[in-house]
Amino acid sequence: MAITKERKKELVAQYADLLDQSKAIILTEYSGLNVKQMQLLRAQVRQADGSFHVTKNTLLRLALAESGQELPDELLVGQLGTGFAMNEVELPDYHLIGEEDKGFYMTMEGFDCARILIGAVCLGAARRALELGMEYIKQRKVFGNPIGKYEGIHFELADDWAELESLRSLVYRTAWMMDRRFKEKRFSPLETASMISACKLKTPHFAFDVFKHVMLWFGAFGYTKECPVEMGLRGIMSYCVGAEGTLNIQRVVIARELLGKEYVAYK
């Protein structure tokens, strides 16, 4: 995969912002490059500008762009991120964010906010799935009637809608508490912890169940790439399996706040 010197400079200029990021996202090695080709491309880009930290994910993006390929929709399955480490780095005081030795607590505040956002994302996805499902069950006919007339559909729809509305209240209330916590110091981190974990605990599996129900309403079509329900089911599963904390960790947090720290098993 030879690249001219002029083209190397163009690549560096075009992707400078991407190459300088510590987290470059790529979803698959769709470019088909082998290890030696990846190493060659890495060396060529570094030679053009050695100041950039070139990750494997970045190289895949460059390879795709260079070959004129686009990432197909069926490969939009997940997200991979790269990490970085800094050793023996000294920073002046004016680069300090927050208080010294409080980085862990600031990071956990980010987790708190993210878990509420995940709750909102899951409920928004579930709501859209129900909308798609309701449109379909009004049109799909079996034995001369729309399947939306049958109680087997009614009961699932009613239960899903009722739980959606109750969980929306939970997420909205928790978001309001976090807003008051930062603006008015009205709630402490401990007072919001159990509410935040409740959002993360309940909403992903609820949304997954909604997508499962709607997929069954659609029948075989719901399992195909042409149906957006299929992609939604896979996307929601990422929140069930651990994004921003596993579900059992949320249970540990809730139990700790209900019983007290002296009843946690890790101490």
What is the per-residue DSSP string for 193-230? HHHHHHHHHHHHHHHHHHHHHHHHHHGGGGGSTTSHHH
With tokens 């719901």, the residue in question is 222
Helix count (H) and strand count (E) of the chain? 9, 2
Helix (H, G, I), strand (E, B) or coil at 80: strand
CA distance 93 to 91: 6
Residue 113 structure tokens: 């906010």
Q: Residue 59 is which amino acid?
A: L
Q: Is 97 exposed, middle or buried (0-12, 13-18, 19+ CB in 10 A)?
A: exposed
For 146, the enclosing helix (H) or strand (E) is strand 145-146
- Please tell me what DSSP assigns to residue 141: E
Catalytic residue status for 244:
yes
Give the list of residues 6+ apart from residue 219 with CB closer than 8 angstroms, or none: none
Closest CA to 207 of 239, 185, 175: 239
Q: Within the chain, what is the greatest distance between any pair of CA atoms?
A: 75
Q: Residue 198 is which amino acid?
A: A
- Please tell me what DSSP assigns to residue 4: -
Active-site annotation holder among 6, 191, 226, 244: 244
Residue 57 structure tokens: 């994910």
Active-site positions read 244
